[in-house]
A and B are shown apart, each in its own frame.
Chain A
Amino acid sequence: GDSVTQMEGPVTLSEEAFLTINCTYTATGYPSLFWYVQYPGEGLQLLLKATKADDKGSNKGFEATYRKETTSFHLEKGSVQVSDSAVYFCALNSGTYKYIFGTGTRLKVLA
């Protein structure tokens, strides 16, 4: 079945550092890929998405590229801020009712 694997956290960075959170997937067909962010005490919010190979999703300085050849969708940001501290989830949907989520990666950014 479909699955998503994310790097384990927590990830601790200093402000203005470069961020990469790795995400790889297995899926039949051509899934859409998503990154969600969850701030403390809140639900998940869509951060960005990509619906086909080589698409790049971007939002709020974050970006991720759908790489079919490596089955990856790594999240990157050039310069993180304290306000980026949150839990990040990679997810996919292959066209069924079901969204497959990774286990989440906690990011802590220190001032």
Chain B
Amino acid sequence: EADIYQTPRYLVIGTGKKITLECSQTMGHDKMYWYQQDPGMELHLIHYSYGVNSTEKGDLSSESTVSRIRTEHFPLTLESARPSHTSQYLCASSEGGGRTYEQYFGPGTRLTVT
């Protein structure tokens, strides 16, 4: 069973607030990812990390930022939440080393900005 956790699971917050979505994994995986999932279900990569102190932006432009100070922890921060940030956010991880490794996903955080 995958050991990747996200908190909170649900968050309703007002416009302009700063929020941090937490993601942790206990598998020692080097690669970690953040996806935004729209209501039509499609997944959009917004950030990824190869390892500690390595982060890159994904395909979908996002006002969020990420950090990777520890292997197991990959938090996502929104400095000033807006209604357009309302979405489902999924964190994932995978072992390094090649194409055969699958991703493991957390349960997701459903964010609503009012």
Q: List the interface of chain A (C-beta within 8 A of B).
A: 30-32, 34, 36, 38, 41-46, 49, 51, 87, 89, 93-99, 101, 103-104, 106
When the two chains form their complex, are residues A46 and B90 in contact, meaning their CB atoms are under 8 A apart?
Answer: no
Binding site for A on B (CB under 8 A): 2, 6, 31, 33, 40-43, 45, 48, 50, 90, 92, 94, 98-108
**Contact A44:B42 (CB < 8 A) given known A51-B99, A99-B103:** no
Determine the distance from Cα of A99 to Cα of B104 in the docked complex, in whole angstroms: 12
**Nearest 8 pairs between A and B by C-beta?**
A43-B105, A104-B41, A95-B99, A44-B105, A93-B99, A51-B100, A32-B99, A46-B102
* Interface pair A97/B31, CB less than 8 Å apart: yes
- Please state if B102 and A103 are interface contacts (CB–CB under 8 Å): no
- B50, A49: Cβ atoms under 8 Å? no
Tell me if A43 and B99 are in contact (CB < 8 A): no
Known: A31-B99, A32-B99. A42 touches B41 (CB 8 A): no
Cβ contact within 8 Å between A94 and B43:
no
Residue of B nearest to A105 (CB): B41
Query: Known: A43-B90, A104-B42. Contact between A34 and B102, CB under 8 A?
Result: yes
Using known A-B contacts A31-B99, A34-B102, A95-B99, determine if residue A43 contacts B108 with beta carbons closer than 8 Å: yes
Nearest-neighbor residue (CB-CB) of B31 within chain A: A97
Task: Return chain B residues, CB-CB under 8 Å to A31.
Answer: 99
Residues of A contacting B103 with CB < 8 Å? 44, 46, 99
A-B contact pairs, 6 of them (CB 8 A): A42-B108, A44-B103, A51-B100, A89-B43, A97-B48, A103-B42
Smallest beta-carbon distance A111→chain B, Å: 24
Known: A31-B99, A43-B90, A87-B41. 19 other contacts (CB 8 A): A32-B99, A32-B100, A36-B105, A41-B108, A43-B6, A43-B107, A43-B108, A44-B90, A44-B103, A45-B105, A49-B100, A93-B101, A95-B99, A96-B99, A97-B48, A99-B94, A99-B103, A103-B41, A104-B41
